[in-house]
């Protein structure tokens, strides 16, 4: 019996860049968010387009969470600036949902890349996360639009506030 065992071991370099599918999805969501808010205000235009560029740079060039967050903040400020200029509420809600989606999916891309590597087969995890984030943000937008509809319908502000508190408490009770 020989104890000479030769094994060829090779090292593998793991690329901890953000996951590809989520990165592309986040940039598309950021681009759509910029297109739905930026053209309606002179102030929102540089914020929205700059936000899209910074989100893309944060995911593909610098690969830093802070750049992704600053880009999403620029997109959010673009939504606010468009709202101040009188853009339709429905369009602002779509833009806000897309901004939140870009940030959430981008953060998930960074986490997956850091933990599993860029070249791992993670498209199912990424698709599931993007789906859940989309549903949650759309539900939040629906609640926000409902509060807006009640508030603009001549209802007292206290009733709208109590309705909002009741919804939050109901969701909290369901969670526990």
Q: Largest alpha-carbon pair distance within the chain?
A: 92
All structural domains of the chain with their residue ranges: 20-144
Model pTM score: 0.82
Q: 104 and 23 in contact (C-beta within 8 Å)?
A: no
pLDDT tens sequence across 61-101 = 999 999 999 999 999 999 999 999 989 989 999 999 999 99
Give the pLDDT confidence of 13-54 residue by residue, as tens digits. Answer: 778 899 999 999 999 999 999 999 999 899 999 999 999 999
Residue pLDDT, tens place only, 99-152? 999 999 999 999 999 999 888 899 999 999 999 989 888 988 888 888 788 777
- Distance in angstroms (rounded) separating the CA atoms of residues 21 and 11: 26
């Amino acid at each position: 019996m020989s104890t000479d065992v030769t094994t060829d071991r090779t090292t593998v370099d793991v690329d901890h860049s953000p996951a590809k599918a989520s990165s592309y999805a986040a940039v598309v969501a950021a681009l759509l968010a910029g297109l739905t808010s930026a053209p309606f205000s002179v102030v929102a235009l540089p914020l929205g387009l700059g936000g899209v560029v910074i989100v893309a740079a944060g995911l593909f060039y610098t690969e830093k969470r802070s750049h992704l967050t600053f880009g999403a903040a620029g997109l959010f400020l673009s939504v606010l600036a468009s709202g101040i200029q009188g853009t339709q509420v429905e369009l602002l809600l779509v833009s806000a949902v897309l901004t939140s989606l870009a940030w959430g999916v981008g953060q998930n891309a960074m986490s997956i890349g850091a933990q599993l590597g860029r070249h791992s087969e993670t498209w199912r995890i990424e698709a599931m996360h993007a789906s859940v984030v989309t549903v949650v943000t759309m539900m939040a937008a629906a609640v926000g639009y409902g509060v807006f509809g009640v508030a603009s319908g001549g209802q007292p502000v206290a009733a709208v506030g109590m309705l909002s508190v009741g919804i939050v408490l109901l969701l909290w009770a369901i969670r526990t």
